[in-house]
Structure 1
Amino acid sequence: MIFILIPAAAVAYAIGLLAFLRRRRPADTSPHSALAPVPNLLASIVVLLSSFEVVTGWAAHTTAQAVHPPEVVFGIDVLASAALLAYPALAGLPFTPRYQVLVGLFAALVGAVVALSWRFQH
């Protein structure tokens, strides 16, 4: 059930934010060039933290000694995932069906990774 709810919430968050900010954005704005490395940094953080949580969770389920990272690691992972999913809307991605599908598929993937890390930790 969690593998459906978390990705669905991630898709709703990402596409909803894209739709909401489309109405608030002036017509002729473009993101500053200094923002270009931000999605790479956020994606690296999400991959690093999620991988750590999945690996330690898998180890905890397959060994006799349960090893769990602190809960703050999962919290930071969720915040980094939320920032990563908000970036397309904040960077000014157009609200077209093509981009809605792309953002939705990406959000589903990020949500599935977060759900997997949650499942292995609890």
Structure 2
Amino acid sequence: MTRLAETFARDVLSAIRSAPLDEVLGGGRGRPAAAVAVVTGAAPAAKSKGRVAAPAAAPERKGGNGRLHRRSDDEIGVVVEKIVSLLKKNPTGLRAEQIREKLSLAPKELPRPIKDALSGKKITAKGQKRATTYFAK
């Protein structure tokens, strides 16, 4: 029984040591950092001079799963301008998936800039759902 417990403990420690650093420090989906520190015997990461470290950039996930990092209005504005520029080069219009493809955007990155461009009257739309075609004004 003791040997089984030792093997289990060694395997758990090995799994924790091979986990990504942000997960071990509490930034991932795993346990909070304090719980990991208790299991591993390590001290939790200390804050430096009262400052909290900035969160790590969101990892890229395949298949469009996962959340995007929160984009600023400026970042969204840049994407809007790219969309308008692309649509000006394509007077016959483009569908959302074509815009996304040509600008190398993730599926979740496009709805907000499209909405902002439409509300700002920089582009127009014709059609419904996936058949919607967007045009530059």
Please state which band the TM-score falls in when normalised by the shorter chain. under 0.3
Greater radius of gyration (CA) = 2
Bigger share in strand = 2
Greater relative contact order structure (CA < 8 Å, 6+ sep) = 1
Q: What is the TM-score normalised by the length of structure 1?
A: 0.27
